[in-house]
Amino acid sequence: MALRQRDNEYHTYADYLTWPEDVRYELIDGVAYLMSPAPTRRHQEFVFEMARQVGNTLEGKPGRVYMAPFDVRLPKGDETDELVDTVVQPDLLVVCDRDKLDDRGLRGAPDWVVEILSPSTASHDQIRKLAAYERAGVPEVWLVHPTDKTLATYRLENGRYGRAEITELQGRRKVIQLPDLTIDWDHLLAQLVD
């Protein structure tokens, strides 16, 4: 299932800021995509349990963890915020450079992004958003497949992601970009409500 476009117009962050707050959009290359009203319970549990582990690990360290909805502006150059045409809301992200943070969210590439795939957003996340993350220079992206219990890991090398490393959601998985950070999949999966 593909996400619906808001319209056929080219939009920037200036337009995005004028839209109603009760309707969520992501803006990729000027195209506004209507986000699902609310993720599933299972999706939320994955995001929360990952954020809990990440937050506990980062306590007292410079990195900060954020969960959607949280605007990440991905400029293509040095354009002003109003001209930025890509604004995404990753399910989970970590940013270590606090100078990138402001009251509106983050301007620039996070250090690590996690997207929890669901049937309504999987193609959007795997195609459009992944390309936007690559272009912006996000060093590491995890695409979590909760139904299949697999993880696709993309790491930036020479400005490209290349082929994903596919692993099962079991044991402990280190975030290469953030060496102190490890996700304990066995613990996370044990916390989920059946």
Domains of the chain: 38-191 (3.90.1570.10)
User: Quick check: 1 pLDDT over 60?
Assistant: no
Where b means 16+ CB within 10 Å and e means fewer, 100-116 reads beeeebbbbbbbbbbbb
Task: Report the pLDDT value the prediction gives residue 30, as an integer from 0 to 100.
Answer: 97
Judge contact between 101 and 64, C-beta under 8 A. yes
How would you class 145 by CB atoms within 10 Å of its CB: exposed for 0-12, middle for 13-18, buried for 19 or more?
middle
Instruction: Quote the tokens at residue 71.
Output: 């605007």
How high does pLDDT run on average in the chain?
93
Q: What is the C-alpha to C-alpha distance for residues 48 and 82, in angstroms, rounded to an integer?
A: 31
Tokens of 109: 């590439």
- Of all residues in the chain, the percent with pLDDT exceeding 70 is 99
Query: Confidence band (pLDDT; 50, 70, 90) for 121?
Result: confident
What are the tens digits of pLDDT across the range 142-171?
999 999 999 999 999 999 999 999 999 999
Please determine, for residue 57, whether its predicted confidence score (pLDDT) is greater than 90. Answer: yes
Written as six digits, the tokens of 27 are 């803006």
State the pLDDT confidence band at 71, using cuts at 50, 70 and 90: very high
Q: Is the omega angle on the peptide bond into residue 69 within 30 degrees of 0, that is, cis?
A: yes
Q: Which of 34, 73, 68 is nearest to 51 (CA)?
A: 68
SS3 93: strand
pLDDT above 60 (res 85): yes
Give the residue ranges of DSSP H helices in the chain: 13-16, 41-58, 122-123, 130-136, 185-191
> For 59-165, where are the alpha helices, taking DSSP H only?
122-123, 130-136
Q: Which pLDDT belongs to residue 138?
A: 98
Q: Is the pLDDT of residue 21 over 90?
A: no
